[in-house]
Amino acid sequence: MAAHFLQMTNSNHVSGARPSADAFGWGKPLIWGKRMIPLSVSDVLKLLDEIPIWKAVARLPKRVAELERKVQQLETAASAKPSLPVGRECPICGAAMKVAAELAHPQFGFSGTKVHKMECPECGHKTERDFQPGKGYE
């Protein structure tokens, strides 16, 4: 059995086969060894249902639709909440940090660069960040 392979034949035509199916070779008998085996599309689909990878492939369109729906929900939720200016989020908890003090930068104060002393109202984390008016945090 392992030495014999199923192959399509173009010599015989099964009566009642649709012309569009013939273009792809469906509706024609298969030759296995010296025996002719008629297969229909439903027979092939039943055989494919027995293959585990085919089951996974058959579920892909539904899975892709679910993922697209979830991405749309996440994008809607992300656009709904206000975004913080870059550099204002707390590195510990992600909340908006408040500027507690603004000082001229010790080396680059001549160019307008400031040092913002920031504090998180949620977790109490304190930090300093360089700020350049018109450009933001560096």
State pLDDT tens for residues 54-86.
Answer: 888 888 999 999 999 999 999 888 777 666 567
Whether the model pTM is above 0.75:
no
Mean pLDDT of 98-102: 90
Q: Are 115 and 127 in contact (CB under 8 A)?
A: no
pLDDT-based confidence at 13, cuts 50/70/90?
Answer: very low
* Structural domain spans, the chain: 1-50, 56-81, 98-137
Strand, helix or coil for residue 100: strand
Return the amino acid letter for 110: F
Give the C-alpha separation, 58 to 55, whole Å: 5
**Total residue count of the chain as it appears in this document:** 138
